[in-house]
Amino acid sequence: MGYRSRRTTEYCIVLQREPRKAKGVWKIHNIPDTWREKSKNGNGHPHKKPLDLQGELIAAVSNEGDIVLDPAAGDFTVLEAAKLCRRNFLGCDLNG
Residue whose C-alpha is closest to residue 83's, from 61, 57, 64: 64
Q: How many domains does the chain have?
A: 1
Element (H, E) at 81: helix 77-84
6 within domain boundaries: no
88 within domain boundaries: yes
74 within domain boundaries: yes
Distance (Å, rounded) from C-alpha 57 to C-alpha 45?
21
- The pLDDT tens digits of the residues spanning 34-47 come to 776 665 555 566 66
25 within domain boundaries: no
- The pLDDT tens digits of the residues spanning 61-86 come to 888 999 999 888 888 889 999 999 99
Identify the pLDDT of residue 7: 58
Identify the pLDDT of residue 29: 77
Whole-number percent of the chain with pLDDT over 70: 60
Q: Domain residues for 90?
A: 50-96
DSSP designation for 34: S
Identify the pLDDT of residue 11: 67
37 within domain boundaries: no
Distance (Å, rounded) from C-alpha 54 to C-alpha 76?
11
94 within domain boundaries: yes
